[in-house]
Structure 1
Amino acid sequence: MKINKKFFNILSLMLVSTFMVGCNNQGDFKSKDEIKIGITLYRQDDVFISNISNNLEDIVKENESKYDSKILLQFVDAKGSTLNQGNQVDKFINQDYDIICVNLVDRTAAATIIDKAKSADIPVIFFNREPVEEDMNRWDKIYYVGSQAEQSARLQADIVAEKWLSNVELYDKNKDGKIQYVMLEGEQGHQDSLIRTEYCIKALNDKGIELEKLADDSANWQSDQAITKMSQWIKEFGDNIEVVFSNNDSMALGTIHAINSNSDLIRKPIIVGVDGIKEALEAIKSGQMDGTVINDAYGQAKALFEISMAVSNGDPVENINGIEKGKYKKLPHTKITIDNVDEYLKE
Structure 2
Amino acid sequence: MKITRIGAIAAAVGVSALALTGCAAATAGGDDDAPLRIGVAVYANSSFITQGHEGVDAYAAANDIDVLWQAADFDVNTQATQVEQLINQGVDAILLAPVQADSLAPQLALAAEKGIPVIAVNAELDDDASLASSVQPDDVAAGAQAAQMMIDELNGEGNVLILQGALGSSFEINRTEGMSEAIDAAPGISVLAQDSGEWSRDASINLVRTWINNFGDQIDGIIAQNDDMALGALQAAREAGVSIPVVGIDGIEDALNAVRDGEMVGTQLQHGRIELAAGLAVAQRVALGEEVEPLYHYIMPPVTQDNVAAVITNVVTDKDALLARLPELIDKNLASGDIANEE
TM class by shorter-chain length?
0.7 to 0.9
**Are 1:186 and 2:186 matched, yes or no?**
no
CA contact (8 A) 2:234 2:244 kept: no
CA contact (8 A) 1:98 1:312 kept: yes
* Structure 2 segments unaligned to the other structure (5+ residues): 1-23, 315-343
CA contact (8 A) 2:59 2:281 kept: no
* Structure 1 segments unaligned to the other structure (5+ residues): 1-24, 65-69, 166-176, 319-326
**Aligned with 1:332 (options 291, 295, 299):** 299
- Which residue of the partner structure matches residue 95 of structure 1? 89
Shift of 1:204: 4.2
Structure 2 distance, partners of 1:191, 1:99, is 22
- Which residue of the partner structure matches residue 322 of structure 1? none
**Are 1:230 and 2:222 matched, yes or no?**
no
The amino acid that maps onto 1:340 is N
The amino acid that maps onto 1:136 is D
Structure 1 distance, partners of 2:136, 2:271, is 9
Written as runs of structure 1 = structure 2, the 5 A alignment for 1:256-275 is: 256-263=234-241, 265=242, 268-275=243-250
- Which residue of the partner structure matches residue 333 of structure 2? none
**Are 1:253 and 2:231 matched, yes or no?**
yes
CA contact (8 A) 2:222 2:247 kept: yes
The amino acid that maps onto 2:179 is C
**Are 1:302 and 2:303 matched, yes or no?**
no
Match of 1:182, SS state, is strand
Q: Does 1 or 2 have the higher relative contact order (CA < 8 Å, sep 6+)? A: 2
**Aligned with 1:153 (options 143, 146, 156):** 143
Shift of 1:302: 2.9
Written as runs of structure 1 = structure 2, the 5 A alignment for 1:189-228 is: 189-206=168-185, 208-228=186-206
The amino acid that maps onto 1:96 is G
- Which residue of the partner structure matches residue 8 of structure 1? none
CA contact (8 A) 2:151 2:157 kept: no
In 2 relative to 1, CA 285–81 (structure 1 residues): closer, same or farther, beyond 3 Å? same
Match of 1:316, SS state, is coil
CA contact (8 A) 1:181 1:245 kept: yes
The amino acid that maps onto 1:35 is L
Deviations 1:101-138 (A, max 9, x none): 12212322231221010111100112222011xx112x
In 2 relative to 1, CA 289–88 (structure 1 residues): closer, same or farther, beyond 3 Å? same
Structure 2 distance, partners of 1:116, 1:190, is 22
- Which residue of the partner structure matches residue 286 of structure 1? 261
- What RMSD, in angstroms, separates the aligned Cα atoms of the two structures? 2.0
Deviations 1:115-169 (A, max 9, x none): 010111100112222011xx112x4x5322220012212321332233223xxxx
Shift of 1:200: 2.3
**Are 1:344 and 2:311 matched, yes or no?**
yes
Structure 2 distance, partners of 1:286, 1:217, is 27
